[in-house]
């Protein structure tokens, strides 16, 4: 499926809005991105949290940690096979690529252990979707602004009869209200339940964010952003926006505009 005709997503739309040239390099030219330990950290933490929740929170902490370790190691080893020079990896702050790989392994273990402890004390029940499955990595596809939009919701939580809260798990600092708003509208549209609130579980801090109110967000508002992005892609309009974010861009090595 070509980039012009495929469904859109939150990540596509926000990437296009932030720097459409990065979108072009990554999704049209298919430039091989530079690896980053933070990506494997996030994926492995999500896998561990999902496994714990799918067990109805019966897994021991050591078992959940093992899920993180196995996933992080497998992802990192695969990336090292493709790019063994860790000096070419993206890294956060003062760390080198190699230091960040090691640091995030330990950090992810601690965050996973804390998530298990925190969930047993604080977590409401995972919502059960109409098909009888727990609402974990809940997939959706629906139309906004005349554009097909797809995605996966980390968690949907039961807040009472026909009332659901959507949640995204974060190991980093970047948070997107647009993401949560899209999730809320998707659950409303597809399942006919009430979604008034959303939040992030912040693994870095071991706590929830403040609630994000969704009851005033309309499908039409969100649809305008998806429609504008979709139209830009179909026009072949990919303006570059060089600046501070270039240092975190995984395709900057192929970019003539990188600052």
DSSP summary character for residue 4: T
Neighbours of 61 (CB within 10 A): 15
Q: At residue 126, what are phi and psi to the nearest 5 degrees? A: -65, 135
Residue 183 near residue 199, CB atoms below 8 Å: no
Residue 136 near residue 50, CB atoms below 8 Å: yes
Q: What is the pLDDT along the chain (259 residues), one digit of tens a residue?
A: 688 889 999 999 999 999 999 999 999 999 999 999 999 999 999 999 999 999 999 999 999 999 999 999 999 999 999 999 999 999 888 899 999 999 999 999 999 999 999 999 987 899 999 999 999 999 999 999 999 999 999 999 998 888 999 999 999 887 899 999 999 999 999 999 999 999 999 999 999 999 999 988 899 999 999 999 999 999 999 999 999 989 889 999 999 998 6
């Amino acid at each position: 499926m070509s980039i012009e005709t495929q469904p859109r997503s939150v990540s596509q739309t926000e990437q296009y809005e932030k720097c459409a040239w990065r979108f072009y390099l990554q999704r049209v030219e298919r430039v091989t991105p530079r690896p980053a330990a933070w990506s494997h950290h996030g994926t492995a933490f999500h896998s561990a949290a999902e496994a714990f929740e799918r067990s109805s929170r019966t897994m021991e902490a050591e078992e959940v940690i093992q899920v993180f370790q196995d996933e992080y190691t497998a992802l990192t080893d695969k990336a090292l096979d493709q790019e063994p020079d860790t000096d070419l990896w993206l890294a956060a702050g003062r760390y080198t690529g190699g230091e960040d790989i090691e640091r995030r392994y330990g950090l992810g273990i601690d965050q996973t252990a804390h998530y298990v402890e925190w969930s047993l004390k604080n977590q409401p029940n995972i919502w059960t979707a109409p098909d009888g499955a727990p609402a974990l990595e809940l997939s959706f596809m629906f139309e906004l602004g005349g554009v097909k939009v797809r995605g996966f919701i980390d968690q949907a939580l039961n807040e009472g009869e026909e009332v659901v809260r959507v949640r995204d798990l974060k190991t980093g600092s970047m948070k997107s209200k647009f993401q949560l708003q899209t999730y809320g509208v998707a659950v409303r549209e597809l399942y006919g339940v009430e979604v008034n609130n959303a939040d992030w579980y912040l693994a870095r801090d071991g706590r929830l964010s403040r609630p994000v109110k969704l009851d005033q967000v309309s499908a039409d508002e969100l649809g305008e952003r998806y429609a504008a992005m979709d139209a830009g892609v179909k026009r072949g309009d990919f303006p570059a926006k060089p600046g501070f974010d270039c240092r975190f861009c995984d395709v900057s090595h192929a970019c003539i505009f990188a600052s």
